[in-house]
Structures are given as C-alpha cells and as structure tokens.
Amino acid sequence: MLKNSLRSRFRRFGVKFGIICLILGSNSFVWASDLYTLPNLVSFEFSPSEIELTGESTVVNFQLTANHPIGIESSSVEVILKSPENNTLSTILRRTDSPINLTLKNVIFKGSLEIPRNVKSGAYVAESGSIIGMPAQGGLISPRSPGFKVTKKLNNVVGAEESLIIRNQGNLNLNFDTFVGPSHTTNSSTAREFPKLPVYKTPIWKVGESYVPEDYFEPRVPNLKLEIVSKTKNTCDVKDSKLKFLAEGDCNFIVFTPLTRDYKYKQFEQLVQITSSRKPQELITESIGNQVAQDLPKLIKIPRVYTIANGYITPKTLSPEICLASDGYMNIFSGGLCKYSYQSMETGNFMASEIYELSFEVVRKTQVITFNPQKTINLNSKNLKLDASSSSGGVVTLDTKTTKICSIDSQILTLFKPGNCEVVANQVGTSTYSPASLTVQILITGVEKPKVQSITCFKGKKIKYVNSLKPKCPVGFKVK
C-alpha cells in the first residue's frame, strides 16, 4: 500500500517538478520521474536502403540506439520488415557492449539480415520490438517501450521514403496511390489533406464540354503524368489529353497512371450521363446619356441587367478613375469617359455571355487660359518673365519646342537668338474642367553677337592657342 501511495504521488508531483527523489538504499537515490520513463529511441537506421534481388548481395545491416536514464535490461531486440501486402521478414539485433553493462544509459543494438532471393519486391517498413529499461534499485517496475519505426528519409521514392526498397530486376511494384481525387467526389477531410485539389469545381457533363484530369486530380508523384482513356468513344473521346463530350448518353472513362518500374498501375473509373449542350446567353442592356461634371462626386441610377443564368448582374468598372459601378448605380468621381461592361458567367446549363461594353461621357466645363506675353522682345533683354492663369484655378505649365531660339524654366523665358519663339501654355484639367491649351508666338529681334572661337595649333612640339571671330593658325602651324 505504501509503495502504491508513493507511486501515485510521484506521478502527480515528481514528474511535474522534477525535484522529488526516492531513497533506495543507504547510498543511492533515483529521480521519481525516472521510475516511469520508458526507454526512448536515439536513432534507428539501416543500410543499404535499396536491395536488388538479382544483385551480388542482399544483406542489410541494422543499428538501433536506445536510451534510458537508469539503464537498459534488454540484451537483444527483434526487427520486423513488413510490406503493404503484409509480407514480413525479421532478424535479431544484439547489444554491442561486452560484457553487458546494465547501467549503460545509451545502448547500441546491431544485426543484419540477408534478404531471401525469392521474397516479393516492394517497400518494406522496419519496426523494432519493445526495449525494456532497468527498474530502479529495489523497484518493481521494468519500463517497456513500444516498438520503434525508422523515421529517417532514406530514398526519394514518393510513398516509401523511410522504407527498405527491394527490387527484382529493377522493378519495385509499389502499391501506392499515385494521385488523389477526383475533387467532385472528394470528402472534406481528403480535401484538407490535399489542398491543391479544386474542391468546389464541378465538371459540366454536357455535349461540347471537356474534362481535363489535372483540374480534378492531384498527382502525388512528380513527373508521373495523369492519363485518361474512354471506353465509350461514341459519346466521349480523348484528344490532346482532354476527354471531350461528343453526344448525349453514357460516358465511361478511366483516369490512370501507368505501370512503371517504381509503381503499380493505378486507376479511377467513372460512368457519367452526358446531356444536351449548354445554351448561349444574350444580354439586354440600355445605354446611359451623357452626364454633366457638376457637384461631384455624385451617384446616379443605371438600368439593371437581368439574366436567366445569374439573375441580376453587377457591371464591371473599366475606368475606375472616373466612375465606379455597382448593382443599379454608378458613382461618378470625375469628368471623362465612364466605361463599364456586363457579362453573365457560365453555369451548368448556360455558357458565359459575350462581354457587353458600354460608356457615357461625363462632360466637363470648358476652361480658358489667360496668357498675354509681349509679342516682340529684343535679344539684348536676355530673358522675359511670363505669367499665365486659368479660369479653373489650376496650375498652368509653360513649354516651348523652339529650343534653339528660346527656353523656359520656372516661367522665365531665356532668349538665345533672333526668331519666332513659340510658347505653349497647358492646363491638364480637373475633375470638373476639361484640359486647355494656348500657343503664342513671341518675336525675338536684334542681332546676335558674333561668337569668339578658339582653335589649337601645333608645329612639332610647339603649341599655340588662337582666339578670334575667325581664328587661323600662324604660318607653319597646323590645326590640332
């Protein structure tokens, strides 16, 4: 009774705080939590990870390392290899410490197995038997672990990454679900496990439609292509990897991955009823008259568009900087061309309609630019201050294309030489005012002063620099 009482208390308090110890003799103690600790796995592996039954050797070497804080009682452990078809092989691993040290906390078990040549090929999972830990001194408990599995990735065969691969003449014959689906018959738990599946997509089983396997199945093995074949070619047939529905009636098809050196043939077969083709949709729309850009933003009513397939549909905005469409209304922000469109989406019984594009003009006010610079200016003035304004109050920008005669910077006109200087005043417009532009000609008069030119002349190692209106090199010198 006392031992049972202590054991219960240690479970509740010793493991939680990790500080209570049990006196087990005059000179020894053990942590209470260690009394109930199971042997744990440090590592479990084997090599090679792949065996060819027709090869030179079929021996596989195993090593398992286990740990227990008090020690390990087991002198050996069984390892069992099992395939998905329940073919099994087994061997015994023995401790490597000699003589056996029962207080050794990390114990290594080793062994080997020669795979029989007549065994069936496949992916074999390795699992060990139980390992027994040492009881505490004077204790009655011998903690026994569950079996351990190899969890280390050993190869790149999808579905057997942690298994021993046994081939026969290169063939594995792995019985593995190489694809998942279809999504249109998949339950919610599978959809969560394989999130790439388009869970809500339903095929349209009608004449003129097609069925693409990749839209409804998720391949699980890279580079292993899904294929499809029809058993009722008068109703449905495969072309360009698509199943096309040709006529009304039963369509029996198979989606599959072929037999390979790694995987068995896998298939999904379905029988569906193909019905008459979907009907096209035509929309009836009404245009809206031009609007005036006043009191913006403002909301106006627009005609609603109804379809048999989708009911009332909301227009799509094509010019969001000017207007924004909603069901039955248009919110106008700025002047300009308001563009929007209607389209009825496809359903199981109707094809998508064409896109119907509509527009109306939000007419802006006309603005006037005031720009009256002097018409003539002498070249000697060098520059001229310009001033322009608009009736909208917006900023007016000035520019010129006659850059060899004049230039503009910060509304200052700089004069270069005589001629007609063309100045353009622009106002880009606002939400309620249209853009405006005004071009004026300013005549620059006077005579351009001759420019002094510079040349470099040389004669042997002698160099002379000549500056004048028409520079020439001295006799015997040449222009460099």
Summarised one tens digit per residue, pLDDT across range 262-278 is 999 999 999 999 999 99
pLDDT at 139: 66
CA 30 to CA 53: how far, in whole Å? 50
pLDDT of 36 higher than 80: no
Question: pLDDT band for position 152 (50/70/90)?
Answer: confident
pLDDT at 266: 97
CA 421 to CA 375: how far, in whole Å? 10
Nearest to 308 by CA among 357, 341, 348: 348
- State pTM to two decimals: 0.61
Taking residue 389's Cβ as centre, other Cβ atoms within 10 Å add up to: 15
SS (H, E, C) 432-457: CECCEEEEEEEEEECCCCCCCEEEEE
pLDDT of 211 higher than 60: yes
Tokens read off for 364: 């802006």
CA 264 to CA 176: how far, in whole Å? 7
Collapse the DSSP code of 362 into the 3-class scheme (helix H, G, I; strand E, B; otherwise coil) and give the result: strand
Q: What angle do CA 339, 341, 343 make, to 5 degrees?
A: 175
Which percentage of the chain shows pLDDT scores above 70?
A: 89
**How many helical (H) and strand (E) elements, i.e. helices and strands, does the chain have?**
3, 39
pLDDT at 337: 96
Average pLDDT, the chain: 88
pLDDT at 20: 38
Q: What is the dihedral of CA 149, 154, 160, 165, to 10 degrees?
A: -100
279-324: per-residue pLDDT in tens? 999 999 999 999 999 889 999 999 999 998 889 999 999 999 999 9
pLDDT at 149: 93
Nearest to 35 by CA among 66, 63, 3: 3
Task: For tokens 């005669």, name the residue.
Answer: 405
Taking residue 24's Cβ as centre, other Cβ atoms within 10 Å add up to: 14
CA 319 to CA 356: how far, in whole Å? 15
CA 265 to CA 177: how far, in whole Å? 10
Q: Are 250 and 276 in contact (CB under 8 A)?
A: no
CA 451 to CA 416: how far, in whole Å? 12
Preceding amide of 182 cis, omega within 30 = yes
Report the Cα–Cα distance between both ends of the chain, in Å, rounded: 118
Q: Using DSSP bridges, classify how beta strands 164-167 and 50-52 pair: parallel, antiparallel or unpaired.
A: parallel
